[in-house]
């Protein structure tokens, strides 16, 4: 017996944190064990997950254990197990308290039944897909979805027992973390047979909601086909298969499988995650059965129930004696056989033609799906239109063709927009390129040449460094201004903005004296429209105002002006008017805002302190506001 197993069994009968009495071990894993427990004061039952002492000593495993509790408790979804408590008792035993589920996990059911009916499988996927969509919206990726982590719980709802699928065990989930705590690449986490290619390659930074979508598709494949799409004894061989090989098409293993299910599973099992559905919600929409298929399933269930009743009745009544003479029976068979032969000879060509149509339509739609994945929109459109023109195809096939046609049209429109984008980038018209890109689907892959990529990055780099140079100039850090200018000129020697930035004056704060507690420049404090002083630094005797405070007030003044809060903008800018390094900017803000306030006194005060160029700036602001000044 292993040390962990012995440790787990010893906990039965113990009381955790003076609250939860352990009654029975339910399951055990590598990191810990799950027990049935009872609250010693309320008598309510619950499930308790306890971390093995060896795992608790591993800081990363202990952190993941805590993450699991916090993740699940934050999601609040009916198809995710409920967490009620996270604690550590006096002995240092870490545990999570969860709702106690009655039923079986999906792995046990599959081992018992082999495979599941289509309706049951789709209902399970619908419920776990809804749970995962909620998790993905919070930035949480499960990363270890498998039948063992899906519990089929029997719950009493209004006196009727229903089955609810619940996702459990978020122990290796991927959650938003700081970069220094993120899961490192090349570390493989999860269960290999249900792991997406990016997980098999250890590319943890590439794992997202589409990786969970792959796992759900593998589970659906297993439930319907009774076998896994990827299954090798060796983990190395299994990963090679997951990364390189295509699985046996599901429609060849499941007779009468609706076409949209086969197409959806195939797309969700695409090797490149970009080719899968963008979200779990879209995958769930793709496997929704058309009404015609639902009607067929209802008829099949009714027929099966009727046949069962008839069989049960026959078993009680016994066999009725044959009343018709044997010779009449033989004669009837003879005439019936001749009639059937004639009808078969007449109808065979027609039946053959009609029977081939659904197969042809399915082949065309699979080819159209492949064309969509390769972004051959026109080919996909033609194939979908050909299916829509065919007569005698099932409603489910027609519905899939309509969806394919719509996707192809959207792709064609995106392709036209991309051509415009390519032209705009080629002409270095980045304003137009930005507007075009905003209208494109977020998941559209853009194929740029290395030269186009370089030119875009060059523009971003130049703009970033010039912006940083001006910020450094505003802060009086003249050496930093030169550093950023040099970086721009090293990449673009003739850049006009950088050359101007190099020779623009820069004044250092060295030796500058802050205005202190006295009123700035002898000006009276600025008042609002009601004549009330706003009591900002510089308006009244008080604590010293530092240069960093002055810069902060100027930034807040600019924001206030932009937001239309005009009196605060004037007051904040007025604080900086007594500091020579900032006075020109401050008076421009005061003057421009006074124009919007239509306050001639403030405008005149600002103009008296501005250079000719800045005066024209203020006059233009007044003219724009419709406030004429001399």
Answer yes or no: 89 catalytic: no
Contact 142, 167 (CB under 8 A): yes
Residue 163 phi, psi (nearest 5): -105, 130
Structure tokens at 414: 């995106």
Residue 130 has a CB neighbour count (10 Å cut-off) of: 18
Q: DSSP 3-state assignment of 243?
A: helix
Alpha helices in 145-203 (DSSP H): 197-200
Nearest to 217 by CA among 161, 287, 151, 153: 287
Nearest to 538 by CA among 502, 578, 511: 578
What is each CA distance from 406 to 62, 132, 200, 368, in whole angstroms? 49, 27, 34, 12
Contact 252, 265 (CB under 8 A): no
* CA 257 from centre of chain: 29
144, 169, 212, 551: the active-site residue: 144
Nearest to 195 by CA among 242, 142, 148: 242
Q: DSSP 3-state assignment of 162?
A: strand
Contacts of 606 (CB under 8 A, 6+ apart): 587, 588, 590, 591, 594, 618
Q: What span, in angstroms and rounded, lies between the C-alpha atoms of 147 and 167?
A: 9
Contact 416, 444 (CB under 8 A): no
Catalytic positions are 144
């Amino acid at each position: 017996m292993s040390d962990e197993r012995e440790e787990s069994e010893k906990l039965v009968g113990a009381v955790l944190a003076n609250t939860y009495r352990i009654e029975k071990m339910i399951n055990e894993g590598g990191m810990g064990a799950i027990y049935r427990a009872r609250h010693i004061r309320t008598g309510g039952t619950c499930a308790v997950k306890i971390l093995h002492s060896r795992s608790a000593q591993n800081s990363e495993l202990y952190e993941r254990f805590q993450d699991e509790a916090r993740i699940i408790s934050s999601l609040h979804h009916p198809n995710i197990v409920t967490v009620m408590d996270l604690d550590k008792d006096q002995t240092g035993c870490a545990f999570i308290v969860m709702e106690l589920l009655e039923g079986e996990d999906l792995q046990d059911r599959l081992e018992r039944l082999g495979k599941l009916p289509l309706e049951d499988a789709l209902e399970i996927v619908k419920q776990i897909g809804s749970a995962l969509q909620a998790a993905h919206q919070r930035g949480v990726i499960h990363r270890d979805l498998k039948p063992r982590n899906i519990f089929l719980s029997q719950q009493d709802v209004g006196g009727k027992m229903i089955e609810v699928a619940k996702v459990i065990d978020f122990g290796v989930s991927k959650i938003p973390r700081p970069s220094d705590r993120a899961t490192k690449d090349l570390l493989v986490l999860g269960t290999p047979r249900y792991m997406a290619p990016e997980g098999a390659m250890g590319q943890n930074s590439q794992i997202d909601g589409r990786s969970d979508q792959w796992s759900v598709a593998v589970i659906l494949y297993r439930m319907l086909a009774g076998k896994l799409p990827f299954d090798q004894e060796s983990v190395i061989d299994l990963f090679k298969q997951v990364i390189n090989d295509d699985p046996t098409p599901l429609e060849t293993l499941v007779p009468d499988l609706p076409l949209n299910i086969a197409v959806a599973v195939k797309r969700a099992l695409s090797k490149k995650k970009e080719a899968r559905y963008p979200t779990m919600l879209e995958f769930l929409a793709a496997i929704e059965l058309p009404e015609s298929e639902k009607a067929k399933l209802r008829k099949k269930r009714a027929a099966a129930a009727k046949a069962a009743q008839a069989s049960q009745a026959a078993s009680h009544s016994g066999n009725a004696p044959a009343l018709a003479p044997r010779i009449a029976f033989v004669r009837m068979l003879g005439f019936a056989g001749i009639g059937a032969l004639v009808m078969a000879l007449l109808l065979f060509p027609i039946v053959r033609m009609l029977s081939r149509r659904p197969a042809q339509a399915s082949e065309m739609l699979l080819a159209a799906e492949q064309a969509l994945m390769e972004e051959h929109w026109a080919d996909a459109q033609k194939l979908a239109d050909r299916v829509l023109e065919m007569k005698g195809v099932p409603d489910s096939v027609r519905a899939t063709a309509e969806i394919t046609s719509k996707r192809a049209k959207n792709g064609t429109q995106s392709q036209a927009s991309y051509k415009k984008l390519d032209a705009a980038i080629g002409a270095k018209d980045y304003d137009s390129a930005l507007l075009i890109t905003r209208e494109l689907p977020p998941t559209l892959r853009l194929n740029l040449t290395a030269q186009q990529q370089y030119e875009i990055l060059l523009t971003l780099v130049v703009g970033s460094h010039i912006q940083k140079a001006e910020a450094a100039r505003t802060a009086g850090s003249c050496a930093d201004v030169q550093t950023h200018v040099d970086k721009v000129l090293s990449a673009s020697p003739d850049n006009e903005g950088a050359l101007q930035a190099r020779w623009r004056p820069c004044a250092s704060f060295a030796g500058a004296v802050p205005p202190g507690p006295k009123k700035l420049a002898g000006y009276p404090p600025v008042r609002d429209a009601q004549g009330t002083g706003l009591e900002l630094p510089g308006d009244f005797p008080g604590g010293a105002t530092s240069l960093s405070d002055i810069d902060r007030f100027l930034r807040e003044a600019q924001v206030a002006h932009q937001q239309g809060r005009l009196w605060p903008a004037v007051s904040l800018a007025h604080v900086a008017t007594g500091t020579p390094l900032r006075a020109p900017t401050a008076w421009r803000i005061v003057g421009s805002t006074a124009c919007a306030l239509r306050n001639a006194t403030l405008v005149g005060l600002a103009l008296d302190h501005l250079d000719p160029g800045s005066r024209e700036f203020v006059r233009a602001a007044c003219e724009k506001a419709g406030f004429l000044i001399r």
